[in-house]
Amino acid sequence: MFLRLKPIGTDGFPLGSDELGRDMLSRLILGTRLSLFMGIVPVVFAFFIGGAIGIVCRLRGRQNQHLHHAHR
């Protein structure tokens, strides 16, 4: 079981391996990719949803201003 563990700097395993013999660098890269995806996607959705709501409110407010000025 301990023969699977590779120390840091071993050829082919720059960050070593875990107890199952998996490369730690590849696991780190995959985990980082998933974490960034889970952090960026909600921000992008919020940006577009908030932008759409803001544009609608701005246009609706402008229409109300025209009606208000027409009745003076």
CB atoms within 10 A of CB 6: 19
Domain ranges of the chain: 2-70
pLDDT of amino acid 28: 93
pLDDT of amino acid 38: 95
Per-residue pLDDT in tens (0 to 9) along the chain, 72 residues: 456 677 777 777 888 888 888 888 999 999 999 999 999 999 999 999 999 998 888 888 766 656 556 555
pLDDT of amino acid 16: 84
Q: What is the pTM of this model?
A: 0.55
pLDDT of amino acid 3: 63
> CB–CB of 8/16 below 8 Å?
yes
